Structure 1
Protein backbone atom coordinates (compact mmCIF):
# COMPACT_ATOMS: atom_id res chain seq x y z
CA UNK A 1 0.00 0.00 0.00
CA UNK A 2 1.27 3.43 -0.96
CA UNK A 3 0.33 6.61 0.88
CA UNK A 4 0.50 10.31 0.10
CA UNK A 5 0.99 12.73 2.98
CA UNK A 6 0.35 16.21 1.57
CA UNK A 7 0.93 18.99 4.07
CA UNK A 8 -1.12 21.70 2.35
CA UNK A 9 -4.14 21.64 0.07
CA UNK A 10 -4.95 25.33 -0.20
CA UNK A 11 -3.86 26.23 -3.74
CA UNK A 12 -4.32 25.14 -7.34
CA UNK A 13 -0.84 23.63 -7.61
CA UNK A 14 -1.39 21.28 -4.68
CA UNK A 15 -4.83 20.27 -5.98
CA UNK A 16 -3.33 19.31 -9.34
CA UNK A 17 -0.46 17.52 -7.63
CA UNK A 18 -2.85 15.38 -5.59
CA UNK A 19 -4.96 14.70 -8.69
CA UNK A 20 -1.90 13.51 -10.61
CA UNK A 21 -0.91 11.21 -7.72
CA UNK A 22 -4.45 9.82 -7.49
CA UNK A 23 -4.72 9.30 -11.23
CA UNK A 24 -1.55 7.20 -11.23
CA UNK A 25 -2.63 5.31 -8.10
CA UNK A 26 -6.07 4.49 -9.53
CA UNK A 27 -4.45 3.19 -12.70
CA UNK A 28 -2.04 1.03 -10.70
CA UNK A 29 -4.88 -0.36 -8.58
CA UNK A 30 -6.99 -1.04 -11.67
CA UNK A 31 -4.07 -2.88 -13.25
CA UNK A 32 -3.60 -4.98 -10.11
CA UNK A 33 -0.20 -3.51 -9.29
CA UNK A 34 -1.22 -2.30 -5.82
CA UNK A 35 -3.84 -3.43 -3.34
CA UNK A 36 -4.81 0.13 -2.38
CA UNK A 37 -3.57 3.65 -1.72
CA UNK A 38 -4.18 6.36 0.88
CA UNK A 39 -4.20 10.15 0.45
CA UNK A 40 -4.19 12.51 3.44
CA UNK A 41 -4.15 16.29 3.12
CA UNK A 42 -3.14 18.69 5.87
CA UNK A 43 -3.71 22.29 6.87
CA UNK A 44 -0.10 23.36 6.40
CA UNK A 45 1.01 22.71 9.98
CA UNK A 46 3.76 20.32 11.01
CA UNK A 47 1.76 19.07 14.00
CA UNK A 48 -1.09 17.81 11.86
CA UNK A 49 1.25 16.19 9.36
CA UNK A 50 3.20 14.46 12.12
CA UNK A 51 -0.07 13.05 13.47
CA UNK A 52 -1.12 11.86 10.02
CA UNK A 53 2.29 10.31 9.40
CA UNK A 54 2.09 8.46 12.73
CA UNK A 55 -1.26 7.03 11.67
CA UNK A 56 0.15 5.88 8.32
CA UNK A 57 2.98 4.11 10.14
CA UNK A 58 0.45 2.29 12.35
CA UNK A 59 -1.46 1.26 9.22
CA UNK A 60 1.76 -0.38 7.98
CA UNK A 61 1.83 1.17 4.51
CA UNK A 62 4.79 0.16 2.35
CA UNK A 63 5.86 3.60 1.18
CA UNK A 64 4.92 7.16 2.16
CA UNK A 65 5.32 9.91 -0.42
CA UNK A 66 5.44 13.16 1.53
CA UNK A 67 5.08 16.78 0.41
CA UNK A 68 6.32 18.22 3.67
CA UNK A 69 5.29 21.19 5.82
CA UNK A 70 8.88 21.64 7.00
CA UNK A 71 12.33 20.63 5.85
CA UNK A 72 13.39 19.46 9.31
CA UNK A 73 10.48 19.38 11.80
CA UNK A 74 9.19 16.05 10.48
CA UNK A 75 12.55 14.30 10.51
CA UNK A 76 11.88 12.46 13.78
CA UNK A 77 8.59 11.07 12.52
CA UNK A 78 10.18 10.09 9.21
CA UNK A 79 12.97 8.31 11.08
CA UNK A 80 10.33 6.34 13.01
CA UNK A 81 8.72 5.36 9.70
CA UNK A 82 12.03 4.11 8.34
CA UNK A 83 12.74 2.16 11.54
CA UNK A 84 9.29 0.54 11.19
CA UNK A 85 10.20 -0.62 7.68
CA UNK A 86 8.22 2.06 5.85
CA UNK A 87 10.11 3.61 2.95
CA UNK A 88 9.81 7.38 2.53
CA UNK A 89 10.20 9.58 -0.55
CA UNK A 90 9.91 13.30 0.07
CA UNK A 91 8.99 15.32 -2.99
CA UNK A 92 8.39 18.96 -3.97
CA UNK A 93 8.77 20.32 -0.41
CA UNK A 94 11.50 17.93 0.63
CA UNK A 95 13.04 16.97 3.99
CA UNK A 96 16.54 16.53 5.37
CA UNK A 97 15.88 13.21 7.13
CA UNK A 98 18.82 10.99 6.09
CA UNK A 99 16.70 7.88 5.53
CA UNK A 100 14.36 9.53 2.99
CA UNK A 101 14.85 9.68 -0.75
CA UNK A 102 14.09 13.10 -2.20
CA UNK A 103 12.50 14.15 -5.49
CA UNK A 104 12.66 17.92 -5.80
CA UNK A 105 13.03 20.87 -8.07
CA UNK A 106 16.07 23.12 -8.26
CA UNK A 107 14.10 26.04 -6.86
CA UNK A 108 17.17 28.19 -6.29
CA UNK A 109 18.41 27.77 -9.85
CA UNK A 110 15.19 28.29 -11.78
CA UNK A 111 13.96 31.25 -9.73
CA UNK A 112 17.42 32.78 -9.98
CA UNK A 113 17.32 32.35 -13.76
CA UNK A 114 13.90 34.00 -13.97
CA UNK A 115 14.95 36.89 -11.71
CA UNK A 116 18.03 37.50 -13.86
CA UNK A 117 15.97 37.47 -17.06
CA UNK A 118 13.53 40.05 -15.71
CA UNK A 119 16.34 42.18 -14.25
CA UNK A 120 17.98 42.25 -17.69
CA UNK A 121 14.69 43.28 -19.28
CA UNK A 122 14.61 46.21 -16.85
CA UNK A 123 18.09 47.23 -17.92
CA UNK A 124 19.34 46.52 -14.42
CA UNK A 125 17.33 49.36 -12.86
CA UNK A 126 13.91 49.67 -11.24
CA UNK A 127 11.65 48.88 -8.32
CA UNK A 128 10.33 45.38 -7.73
CA UNK A 129 7.99 43.51 -5.41
CA UNK A 130 8.76 39.96 -4.31
CA UNK A 131 5.70 37.80 -3.66
CA UNK A 132 6.75 34.80 -1.62
CA UNK A 133 4.93 31.47 -1.55
CA UNK A 134 3.80 29.07 1.20
CA UNK A 135 5.26 30.48 4.43
CA UNK A 136 7.68 28.14 6.19
CA UNK A 137 8.01 25.64 3.34
CA UNK A 138 11.35 24.56 1.90
CA UNK A 139 10.36 25.62 -1.67
CA UNK A 140 9.52 29.15 -0.49
CA UNK A 141 12.87 29.47 1.28
CA UNK A 142 14.79 28.13 -1.71
CA UNK A 143 12.94 30.25 -4.28
CA UNK A 144 13.42 33.38 -2.22
CA UNK A 145 17.12 32.54 -1.88
CA UNK A 146 17.42 32.14 -5.65
CA UNK A 147 15.65 35.44 -6.29
CA UNK A 148 17.61 37.51 -3.77
CA UNK A 149 20.99 36.04 -4.72
CA UNK A 150 20.32 36.79 -8.40
CA UNK A 151 19.24 40.35 -7.62
CA UNK A 152 22.57 41.03 -5.88
CA UNK A 153 24.03 41.07 -9.38
CA UNK A 154 21.90 44.13 -10.19
CA UNK A 155 22.55 46.90 -7.63
CA UNK A 156 20.29 49.28 -9.55
CA UNK A 157 17.22 47.19 -8.72
CA UNK A 158 15.48 47.90 -5.41
CA UNK A 159 13.03 45.58 -3.67
CA UNK A 160 10.35 47.96 -2.39
CA UNK A 161 8.09 45.33 -0.79
CA UNK A 162 8.08 41.64 0.11
CA UNK A 163 4.73 39.95 0.80
CA UNK A 164 3.39 36.41 1.11
CA UNK A 165 0.96 35.20 -1.55
CA UNK A 166 0.73 31.56 -0.40
CA UNK A 167 1.06 30.54 -4.08
CA UNK A 168 -2.65 31.37 -4.39
CA UNK A 169 -4.39 33.79 -6.74
CA UNK A 170 -6.68 35.45 -4.20
CA UNK A 171 -4.09 35.77 -1.44
CA UNK A 172 -1.46 37.17 -3.80
CA UNK A 173 -3.94 39.66 -5.25
CA UNK A 174 -4.91 40.91 -1.79
CA UNK A 175 -1.31 41.08 -0.56
CA UNK A 176 -0.15 43.15 -3.53
CA UNK A 177 -3.25 45.37 -3.51
CA UNK A 178 -2.66 46.17 0.17
CA UNK A 179 0.89 47.46 -0.34
CA UNK A 180 0.58 49.22 -3.70
CA UNK A 181 -0.77 52.54 -2.36
CA UNK A 182 2.31 53.02 -0.17
CA UNK A 183 4.90 52.17 -2.83
CA UNK A 184 6.78 54.11 -5.50
CA UNK A 185 6.19 53.06 -9.10
CA UNK A 186 6.73 49.29 -9.48
CA UNK A 187 8.55 48.03 -12.57
CA UNK A 188 8.44 44.27 -12.00
CA UNK A 189 7.11 41.58 -9.67
CA UNK A 190 8.75 38.27 -8.85
CA UNK A 191 6.29 35.60 -7.70
CA UNK A 192 6.62 31.92 -6.95
CA UNK A 193 3.86 30.33 -9.01
CA UNK A 194 0.85 28.25 -8.09
CA UNK A 195 -1.55 30.86 -9.43
CA UNK A 196 -0.07 33.93 -7.73
CA UNK A 197 0.88 35.38 -11.15
CA UNK A 198 -2.73 36.05 -12.17
CA UNK A 199 -3.55 37.45 -8.73
CA UNK A 200 -0.63 39.88 -9.05
CA UNK A 201 -1.81 40.96 -12.51
CA UNK A 202 -5.34 41.51 -11.22
CA UNK A 203 -4.08 43.68 -8.37
CA UNK A 204 -2.30 46.02 -10.79
CA UNK A 205 -5.22 46.13 -13.22
CA UNK A 206 -7.62 47.07 -10.44
CA UNK A 207 -5.21 49.68 -9.07
CA UNK A 208 -5.03 51.29 -12.50
CA UNK A 209 -3.34 54.66 -12.73
CA UNK A 210 -0.03 54.50 -14.52
CA UNK A 211 -0.37 50.71 -14.66
CA UNK A 212 -3.46 50.89 -16.88
CA UNK A 213 -1.27 51.50 -19.93
CA UNK A 214 2.00 49.93 -18.85
CA UNK A 215 1.96 46.90 -16.60
CA UNK A 216 5.04 45.84 -14.66
CA UNK A 217 6.87 42.75 -15.83
CA UNK A 218 5.31 39.93 -13.80
CA UNK A 219 7.15 36.62 -13.58
CA UNK A 220 4.82 33.89 -14.77
CA UNK A 221 4.16 30.86 -12.60
CA UNK A 222 2.50 28.73 -15.26
CA UNK A 223 -1.16 29.38 -14.42
CA UNK A 224 -3.61 29.15 -17.31
CA UNK A 225 -5.42 32.32 -16.21
CA UNK A 226 -2.18 34.29 -16.32
CA UNK A 227 -1.27 32.81 -19.71
CA UNK A 228 -4.65 33.92 -21.12
CA UNK A 229 -4.18 37.40 -19.63
CA UNK A 230 -0.60 37.57 -20.92
CA UNK A 231 -1.66 36.57 -24.44
CA UNK A 232 -4.39 39.23 -24.51
CA UNK A 233 -1.99 41.95 -23.29
CA UNK A 234 0.61 40.79 -25.79
CA UNK A 235 -1.84 41.24 -28.66
CA UNK A 236 -2.97 44.58 -27.26
CA UNK A 237 0.33 46.28 -26.45
CA UNK A 238 3.15 43.76 -26.93
CA UNK A 239 3.36 42.85 -23.25
CA UNK A 240 6.24 40.43 -22.75
CA UNK A 241 7.46 38.31 -19.87
CA UNK A 242 8.67 34.78 -19.13
CA UNK A 243 7.10 31.95 -17.13
CA UNK A 244 8.86 29.12 -15.34
CA UNK A 245 7.05 26.76 -13.01
CA UNK A 246 7.43 23.59 -11.05
CA UNK A 247 5.12 20.96 -12.48
CA UNK A 248 2.31 19.55 -10.30
CA UNK A 249 2.56 16.37 -12.36
CA UNK A 250 5.34 15.51 -9.90
CA UNK A 251 2.53 13.87 -7.91
CA UNK A 252 2.29 11.14 -10.54
CA UNK A 253 6.06 10.79 -10.68
CA UNK A 254 6.16 10.49 -6.88
CA UNK A 255 3.56 7.71 -6.97
CA UNK A 256 5.42 5.66 -9.57
CA UNK A 257 8.71 6.22 -7.76
CA UNK A 258 7.09 5.03 -4.50
CA UNK A 259 5.70 2.01 -6.34
CA UNK A 260 9.12 1.10 -7.73
CA UNK A 261 10.62 1.50 -4.25
CA UNK A 262 7.95 -0.79 -2.82
CA UNK A 263 9.04 -3.40 -5.38
CA UNK A 264 12.65 -3.09 -4.23
CA UNK A 265 14.12 -0.42 -6.49
CA UNK A 266 16.97 1.58 -4.95
CA UNK A 267 16.82 5.04 -6.56
CA UNK A 268 19.46 7.75 -6.10
CA UNK A 269 19.25 9.50 -2.73
CA UNK A 270 18.53 12.84 -4.45
CA UNK A 271 16.61 13.30 -7.71
CA UNK A 272 15.59 16.46 -9.59
CA UNK A 273 12.50 17.18 -11.70
CA UNK A 274 12.37 19.46 -14.77
CA UNK A 275 10.49 22.78 -14.76
CA UNK A 276 8.12 24.06 -17.47
CA UNK A 277 9.11 27.17 -19.44
CA UNK A 278 6.70 29.41 -21.37
CA UNK A 279 7.60 32.49 -23.41
CA UNK A 280 6.23 34.25 -26.48
CA UNK A 281 7.62 31.49 -28.71
CA UNK A 282 5.38 28.76 -27.26
CA UNK A 283 2.70 30.87 -25.54
CA UNK A 284 -0.03 29.89 -28.01
CA UNK A 285 0.46 26.19 -27.21
CA UNK A 286 -1.06 26.72 -23.76
CA UNK A 287 -4.05 28.93 -24.58
CA UNK A 288 -6.51 26.01 -24.54
CA UNK A 289 -5.69 24.98 -20.98
CA UNK A 290 -8.75 24.88 -18.69
CA UNK A 291 -9.16 27.92 -16.41
CA UNK A 292 -7.57 27.60 -12.98
CA UNK A 293 -4.92 25.05 -13.95
CA UNK A 294 -1.12 25.02 -14.00
CA UNK A 295 1.14 24.11 -16.92
CA UNK A 296 2.25 20.53 -16.34
CA UNK A 297 3.14 17.42 -18.30
CA UNK A 298 2.29 14.02 -16.83
CA UNK A 299 4.98 11.58 -15.79
CA UNK A 300 4.48 7.87 -16.43
CA UNK A 301 5.92 4.75 -14.84
CA UNK A 302 8.14 4.37 -17.91
CA UNK A 303 9.42 7.95 -17.50
CA UNK A 304 10.26 7.29 -13.85
CA UNK A 305 12.10 4.07 -14.71
CA UNK A 306 14.15 5.67 -17.49
CA UNK A 307 14.73 9.14 -16.03
CA UNK A 308 14.78 8.83 -12.24
CA UNK A 309 15.85 5.28 -11.51
CA UNK A 310 18.69 5.47 -14.02
CA UNK A 311 19.76 8.97 -13.00
CA UNK A 312 23.37 9.32 -11.85
CA UNK A 313 23.77 9.39 -8.08
CA UNK A 314 24.37 12.78 -6.46
Structure 2
Protein backbone atom coordinates (compact mmCIF):
# COMPACT_ATOMS: atom_id res chain seq x y z
CA UNK A 1 0.00 0.00 0.00
CA UNK A 2 2.95 2.32 0.70
CA UNK A 3 4.15 1.80 -2.89
CA UNK A 4 0.71 2.78 -4.16
CA UNK A 5 0.73 5.94 -2.05
CA UNK A 6 4.14 6.94 -3.40
CA UNK A 7 2.96 6.21 -6.94
CA UNK A 8 -0.22 8.24 -6.41
CA UNK A 9 1.77 11.15 -5.01
CA UNK A 10 4.21 11.13 -7.93
CA UNK A 11 1.29 11.04 -10.36
CA UNK A 12 -0.26 14.04 -8.61
CA UNK A 13 3.00 16.00 -8.85
CA UNK A 14 3.29 15.29 -12.57
CA UNK A 15 -0.27 16.51 -13.13
CA UNK A 16 0.23 19.52 -10.89
CA UNK A 17 3.28 20.61 -12.87
CA UNK A 18 1.18 20.62 -16.04
CA UNK A 19 -1.77 22.38 -14.41
CA UNK A 20 0.07 24.93 -12.28
CA UNK A 21 0.04 27.64 -14.94
CA UNK A 22 -3.70 27.33 -15.48
CA UNK A 23 -6.29 29.37 -13.63
CA UNK A 24 -8.47 26.30 -13.20
CA UNK A 25 -8.19 22.52 -13.07
CA UNK A 26 -9.87 20.81 -16.01
CA UNK A 27 -11.37 17.61 -14.61
CA UNK A 28 -13.09 15.05 -16.81
CA UNK A 29 -15.46 12.34 -15.63
CA UNK A 30 -16.74 9.30 -17.51
CA UNK A 31 -19.64 7.67 -15.71
CA UNK A 32 -21.03 4.16 -15.85
CA UNK A 33 -24.68 4.56 -16.88
CA UNK A 34 -26.56 7.65 -15.70
CA UNK A 35 -29.93 6.46 -17.00
CA UNK A 36 -29.93 3.04 -15.35
CA UNK A 37 -31.07 4.19 -11.89
CA UNK A 38 -31.83 7.26 -9.82
CA UNK A 39 -28.63 6.95 -7.77
CA UNK A 40 -26.45 7.60 -10.79
CA UNK A 41 -28.75 10.37 -12.02
CA UNK A 42 -28.53 12.14 -8.66
CA UNK A 43 -24.77 11.58 -8.56
CA UNK A 44 -24.36 13.35 -11.91
CA UNK A 45 -26.50 16.29 -10.82
CA UNK A 46 -24.51 16.62 -7.59
CA UNK A 47 -21.17 16.39 -9.40
CA UNK A 48 -22.12 19.11 -11.90
CA UNK A 49 -23.40 21.34 -9.08
CA UNK A 50 -20.21 20.88 -7.03
CA UNK A 51 -17.99 21.61 -10.05
CA UNK A 52 -19.98 24.70 -10.99
CA UNK A 53 -19.75 25.97 -7.41
CA UNK A 54 -15.94 25.80 -7.51
CA UNK A 55 -14.38 28.68 -9.47
CA UNK A 56 -11.14 26.69 -9.82
CA UNK A 57 -12.74 23.75 -11.63
CA UNK A 58 -13.76 23.27 -15.25
CA UNK A 59 -15.53 19.95 -15.75
CA UNK A 60 -16.09 17.69 -18.73
CA UNK A 61 -18.98 15.34 -17.90
CA UNK A 62 -19.45 12.20 -20.00
CA UNK A 63 -21.66 9.11 -19.65
CA UNK A 64 -20.72 5.70 -21.06
CA UNK A 65 -24.30 4.44 -21.03
CA UNK A 66 -23.13 1.10 -19.63
CA UNK A 67 -21.01 0.47 -22.75
CA UNK A 68 -17.39 -0.52 -22.07
CA UNK A 69 -16.23 0.39 -25.59
CA UNK A 70 -17.83 3.82 -25.30
CA UNK A 71 -16.16 4.40 -21.94
CA UNK A 72 -12.74 3.46 -23.33
CA UNK A 73 -13.34 5.90 -26.20
CA UNK A 74 -14.30 8.58 -23.68
CA UNK A 75 -11.07 7.96 -21.76
CA UNK A 76 -9.15 8.42 -25.03
CA UNK A 77 -11.04 11.65 -25.70
CA UNK A 78 -10.25 13.05 -22.25
CA UNK A 79 -6.57 12.18 -22.71
CA UNK A 80 -6.60 13.97 -26.06
CA UNK A 81 -8.18 17.01 -24.40
CA UNK A 82 -5.25 16.99 -21.96
CA UNK A 83 -7.46 17.30 -18.92
CA UNK A 84 -5.66 17.67 -15.61
CA UNK A 85 -7.39 14.68 -13.98
CA UNK A 86 -9.87 11.97 -14.96
CA UNK A 87 -12.57 10.51 -12.74
CA UNK A 88 -13.92 7.17 -13.93
CA UNK A 89 -16.95 5.24 -12.72
CA UNK A 90 -16.02 1.94 -14.40
CA UNK A 91 -18.49 0.04 -16.55
CA UNK A 92 -16.30 -3.04 -16.08
CA UNK A 93 -13.48 -3.26 -13.55
CA UNK A 94 -11.24 -5.41 -15.77
CA UNK A 95 -11.90 -4.04 -19.24
CA UNK A 96 -11.09 -0.40 -18.48
CA UNK A 97 -7.59 -1.09 -17.11
CA UNK A 98 -5.72 -0.47 -20.42
CA UNK A 99 -7.43 2.93 -20.79
CA UNK A 100 -6.62 3.84 -17.19
CA UNK A 101 -3.00 2.79 -17.77
CA UNK A 102 -2.84 5.00 -20.88
CA UNK A 103 -4.03 8.02 -18.90
CA UNK A 104 -1.47 7.29 -16.21
CA UNK A 105 1.29 7.06 -18.83
CA UNK A 106 0.16 10.45 -20.18
CA UNK A 107 0.74 11.94 -16.74
CA UNK A 108 -2.97 12.35 -15.99
CA UNK A 109 -3.98 11.17 -12.50
CA UNK A 110 -7.03 8.88 -12.49
CA UNK A 111 -9.51 8.82 -9.62
CA UNK A 112 -11.86 5.85 -9.60
CA UNK A 113 -15.28 6.63 -8.17
CA UNK A 114 -18.00 4.51 -6.56
CA UNK A 115 -16.89 1.11 -7.92
CA UNK A 116 -13.21 0.23 -8.02
CA UNK A 117 -11.35 -1.30 -10.93
CA UNK A 118 -9.75 -4.73 -10.62
CA UNK A 119 -6.55 -5.00 -8.57
CA UNK A 120 -4.16 -5.35 -11.56
CA UNK A 121 -5.03 -1.74 -12.40
CA UNK A 122 -4.33 -0.29 -8.95
CA UNK A 123 -0.83 0.90 -9.89
CA UNK A 124 -2.32 3.26 -12.47
CA UNK A 125 -4.81 4.89 -10.08
CA UNK A 126 -4.13 7.90 -7.83
CA UNK A 127 -7.05 7.14 -5.49
CA UNK A 128 -10.37 5.36 -5.17
CA UNK A 129 -13.23 7.47 -3.76
CA UNK A 130 -16.43 5.77 -2.73
CA UNK A 131 -18.05 3.24 -0.41
CA UNK A 132 -16.44 0.09 0.95
CA UNK A 133 -18.65 -2.36 -0.93
CA UNK A 134 -17.34 -5.47 0.85
CA UNK A 135 -18.20 -3.90 4.19
CA UNK A 136 -21.63 -2.99 2.84
CA UNK A 137 -22.28 -6.60 1.85
CA UNK A 138 -21.06 -7.82 5.23
CA UNK A 139 -23.34 -5.37 7.06
CA UNK A 140 -26.30 -6.52 4.98
CA UNK A 141 -25.55 -10.11 6.05
CA UNK A 142 -25.53 -8.97 9.67
CA UNK A 143 -28.86 -7.18 9.24
CA UNK A 144 -30.43 -10.32 7.79
CA UNK A 145 -28.95 -12.63 10.42
CA UNK A 146 -30.08 -10.38 13.27
CA UNK A 147 -33.64 -10.41 11.92
CA UNK A 148 -33.65 -14.19 11.44
CA UNK A 149 -32.36 -14.60 15.00
CA UNK A 150 -35.14 -12.33 16.31
CA UNK A 151 -37.62 -14.52 14.40
CA UNK A 152 -36.03 -17.74 15.69
CA UNK A 153 -35.32 -19.14 12.20
CA UNK A 154 -31.55 -18.58 12.09
CA UNK A 155 -30.90 -22.34 11.97
CA UNK A 156 -33.28 -23.15 9.12
CA UNK A 157 -33.73 -20.07 6.95
CA UNK A 158 -33.28 -20.27 3.18
CA UNK A 159 -32.46 -17.22 1.09
CA UNK A 160 -31.81 -16.10 -2.49
CA UNK A 161 -29.56 -13.33 -3.75
CA UNK A 162 -30.10 -10.85 -6.59
CA UNK A 163 -26.74 -9.38 -7.52
CA UNK A 164 -25.84 -6.39 -9.67
CA UNK A 165 -24.36 -6.13 -13.14
CA UNK A 166 -21.97 -9.05 -13.92
CA UNK A 167 -18.31 -7.99 -14.14
CA UNK A 168 -19.06 -4.78 -12.24
CA UNK A 169 -16.78 -4.42 -9.21
CA UNK A 170 -19.50 -3.11 -6.89
CA UNK A 171 -21.69 -6.13 -7.67
CA UNK A 172 -18.80 -8.54 -7.14
CA UNK A 173 -17.70 -6.95 -3.87
CA UNK A 174 -21.16 -6.61 -2.34
CA UNK A 175 -21.88 -10.26 -3.11
CA UNK A 176 -18.51 -11.30 -1.67
CA UNK A 177 -18.99 -9.29 1.50
CA UNK A 178 -22.42 -10.82 2.03
CA UNK A 179 -21.40 -14.40 1.16
CA UNK A 180 -18.27 -14.27 3.36
CA UNK A 181 -19.99 -12.71 6.37
CA UNK A 182 -23.27 -14.64 6.43
CA UNK A 183 -21.69 -18.02 7.35
CA UNK A 184 -19.78 -16.30 10.15
CA UNK A 185 -22.86 -14.85 11.83
CA UNK A 186 -25.54 -17.34 10.72
CA UNK A 187 -23.76 -20.54 9.67
CA UNK A 188 -26.96 -22.55 9.22
CA UNK A 189 -28.68 -20.17 6.80
CA UNK A 190 -28.76 -21.64 3.29
CA UNK A 191 -28.12 -19.49 0.20
CA UNK A 192 -30.18 -21.31 -2.42
CA UNK A 193 -29.17 -19.39 -5.55
CA UNK A 194 -27.78 -16.11 -6.90
CA UNK A 195 -28.88 -14.45 -10.14
CA UNK A 196 -28.02 -10.99 -11.53
CA UNK A 197 -30.62 -8.24 -11.61
CA UNK A 198 -28.31 -5.80 -13.44
CA UNK A 199 -29.33 -2.92 -11.09
CA UNK A 200 -32.72 -2.97 -12.86
CA UNK A 201 -36.02 -3.20 -10.96
CA UNK A 202 -38.01 -4.86 -13.75
CA UNK A 203 -35.36 -7.52 -14.42
CA UNK A 204 -35.03 -8.19 -10.69
CA UNK A 205 -38.78 -8.70 -10.47
CA UNK A 206 -38.51 -11.30 -13.25
CA UNK A 207 -35.60 -13.00 -11.46
CA UNK A 208 -37.63 -13.17 -8.26
CA UNK A 209 -40.67 -14.53 -10.11
CA UNK A 210 -38.49 -17.39 -11.31
CA UNK A 211 -37.15 -17.97 -7.78
CA UNK A 212 -40.69 -18.13 -6.41
CA UNK A 213 -41.64 -20.78 -8.96
CA UNK A 214 -38.50 -22.79 -8.30
CA UNK A 215 -38.45 -22.64 -4.48
CA UNK A 216 -41.44 -23.25 -2.22
CA UNK A 217 -39.62 -21.94 0.86
CA UNK A 218 -37.80 -18.59 0.68
CA UNK A 219 -37.29 -16.78 3.97
CA UNK A 220 -35.11 -13.92 2.80
CA UNK A 221 -33.85 -11.99 -0.22
CA UNK A 222 -30.57 -10.10 -0.37
CA UNK A 223 -30.34 -7.58 -3.22
CA UNK A 224 -27.29 -5.56 -4.27
CA UNK A 225 -29.36 -2.37 -4.00
CA UNK A 226 -32.89 -1.36 -3.02
CA UNK A 227 -33.94 -0.78 -6.62
CA UNK A 228 -33.51 -4.51 -7.25
CA UNK A 229 -34.80 -5.39 -3.79
CA UNK A 230 -38.09 -3.59 -4.39
CA UNK A 231 -38.39 -5.37 -7.74
CA UNK A 232 -38.14 -8.65 -5.84
CA UNK A 233 -40.64 -7.39 -3.26
CA UNK A 234 -43.12 -6.56 -6.03
CA UNK A 235 -42.83 -10.11 -7.38
CA UNK A 236 -43.47 -11.60 -3.95
CA UNK A 237 -46.49 -9.38 -3.41
CA UNK A 238 -47.94 -10.34 -6.80
CA UNK A 239 -47.48 -14.02 -5.98
CA UNK A 240 -49.02 -13.68 -2.52
CA UNK A 241 -45.82 -14.87 -0.82
CA UNK A 242 -45.70 -13.23 2.62
CA UNK A 243 -43.18 -13.25 5.45
CA UNK A 244 -40.05 -12.88 3.29
CA UNK A 245 -37.33 -10.64 4.75
CA UNK A 246 -35.90 -8.21 2.17
CA UNK A 247 -32.48 -6.64 2.69
CA UNK A 248 -30.65 -4.36 0.27
CA UNK A 249 -27.20 -2.76 0.10
CA UNK A 250 -27.91 0.85 -0.95
CA UNK A 251 -30.99 2.55 0.43
CA UNK A 252 -33.08 4.12 -2.36
CA UNK A 253 -36.20 6.22 -1.74
CA UNK A 254 -38.34 3.28 -2.91
CA UNK A 255 -36.62 1.08 -0.34
CA UNK A 256 -37.12 3.69 2.38
CA UNK A 257 -40.82 3.91 1.50
CA UNK A 258 -41.15 0.12 1.54
CA UNK A 259 -39.49 0.11 4.98
CA UNK A 260 -41.99 2.72 6.19
CA UNK A 261 -44.78 0.47 4.95
CA UNK A 262 -43.32 -2.49 6.87
CA UNK A 263 -42.66 -4.54 3.71
CA UNK A 264 -38.87 -4.19 3.49
CA UNK A 265 -36.61 -4.81 6.46
CA UNK A 266 -33.24 -3.09 5.98
CA UNK A 267 -30.43 -1.75 3.83
CA UNK A 268 -27.22 0.30 3.85
CA UNK A 269 -27.46 4.09 3.85
CA UNK A 270 -25.40 5.70 1.07
CA UNK A 271 -25.64 9.20 -0.37
CA UNK A 272 -24.95 9.82 -4.09
CA UNK A 273 -24.39 13.49 -3.24
CA UNK A 274 -21.63 12.57 -0.77
CA UNK A 275 -20.27 10.13 -3.35
CA UNK A 276 -20.05 12.76 -6.12
CA UNK A 277 -18.67 15.53 -3.92
CA UNK A 278 -16.06 13.18 -2.44
CA UNK A 279 -14.87 12.14 -5.94
CA UNK A 280 -14.46 15.74 -7.08
CA UNK A 281 -12.68 16.77 -3.88
CA UNK A 282 -10.36 13.76 -4.14
CA UNK A 283 -9.38 14.83 -7.68
CA UNK A 284 -8.73 18.40 -6.51
CA UNK A 285 -6.67 17.17 -3.53
CA UNK A 286 -4.56 14.96 -5.80
CA UNK A 287 -3.93 17.85 -8.21
CA UNK A 288 -2.95 20.11 -5.32
CA UNK A 289 -0.39 17.55 -4.20
CA UNK A 290 -2.10 16.65 -0.93
CA UNK A 291 -1.61 13.28 0.76
CA UNK A 292 -4.65 11.28 -0.36
CA UNK A 293 -5.23 7.67 0.77
CA UNK A 294 -5.41 5.09 -1.98
CA UNK A 295 -8.75 3.83 -0.65
CA UNK A 296 -10.71 6.94 0.28
CA UNK A 297 -13.91 5.48 1.76
CA UNK A 298 -16.90 7.31 3.21
CA UNK A 299 -19.06 5.62 5.85
CA UNK A 300 -22.26 3.76 4.96
CA UNK A 301 -24.22 2.73 8.09
CA UNK A 302 -26.94 0.12 8.53
CA UNK A 303 -30.55 1.25 8.24
CA UNK A 304 -33.54 -0.90 9.27
CA UNK A 305 -37.16 -0.37 10.24
CA UNK A 306 -35.92 -0.04 13.83
CA UNK A 307 -33.60 2.97 13.29
CA UNK A 308 -34.78 4.55 10.04
CA UNK A 309 -36.08 7.58 11.94
CA UNK A 310 -32.44 8.62 12.39
CA UNK A 311 -32.00 8.96 8.61
CA UNK A 312 -33.49 11.31 6.02
CA UNK A 313 -35.37 9.77 3.12
CA UNK A 314 -32.98 9.39 0.14
CA UNK A 315 -33.55 11.86 -2.68
CA UNK A 316 -32.91 9.21 -5.34
Relative to the length of structure 1, the TM-score reads 0.81
In the alignment, what sits opposite 1:121?
A: 147
Q: Extract unaligned runs of 5+ from structure 1.
A: 234-238, 294-314
Q: Structure 1's 126 and 282: CA in aligned 2 closer, same or farther, altered over 3 A?
A: closer
Instruction: Give yes or no for contact 1:219–1:241 (8 Å, CA) kept in 2.
Output: yes
Alignment of 1:22-41 (within 5 A): 22-28=48-54, 32-34=55-57, 36-41=58-63
Measure the CA separation in 1 of the matches of 2:68 and 2:142.
33
Instruction: Give yes or no for contact 2:197–2:207 (8 Å, CA) kept in 1.
Output: yes
Which of the numbers 12, 19, 23 marks the counterpart of 2:38? 12
Instruction: Give yes or no for contact 1:227–1:287 (8 Å, CA) kept in 2.
Output: no
Measure the CA separation in 1 of the matches of 2:160 and 2:269.
18
For residues 149-174 of structure 1, the C-alpha deviation after alignment (integer angstroms, 9 at most, x for no partner) is 12333342222231211223222222
Q: Structure 1's 195 and 204: CA in aligned 2 closer, same or farther, altered over 3 A?
A: same
Which of the numbers 77, 102, 107 marks the counterpart of 1:55? 77
Instruction: Give yes or no for contact 1:224–1:286 (8 Å, CA) kept in 2.
Output: no
In the alignment, what sits opposite 1:147?
A: 178
Offset of residue 280 of structure 1: 3.0
For residues 14-46 of structure 1, the C-alpha deviation after alignment (integer angstroms, 9 at most, x for no partner) is 212222211111211xxx212x21111113232
Measure the CA separation in 1 of the matches of 2:264 and 2:198.
25
Which of the numbers 215, 234, 245 marks the counterpart of 1:217? 245
Structure with more helix by fraction: 2
Q: Does 1:67 align with 2:93?
A: no
In the alignment, what sits opposite 2:166?
A: 135
In the alignment, what sits opposite 2:265?
A: 241
Instruction: Give yes or no for contact 1:127–1:159 (8 Å, CA) kept in 2.
Output: yes
Which of the numbers 62, 68, 78 marks the counterpart of 1:46? 68
Give me the CA root mean square deviation.
Answer: 2.1
Which of the numbers 178, 192, 197 marks the counterpart of 2:229? 197
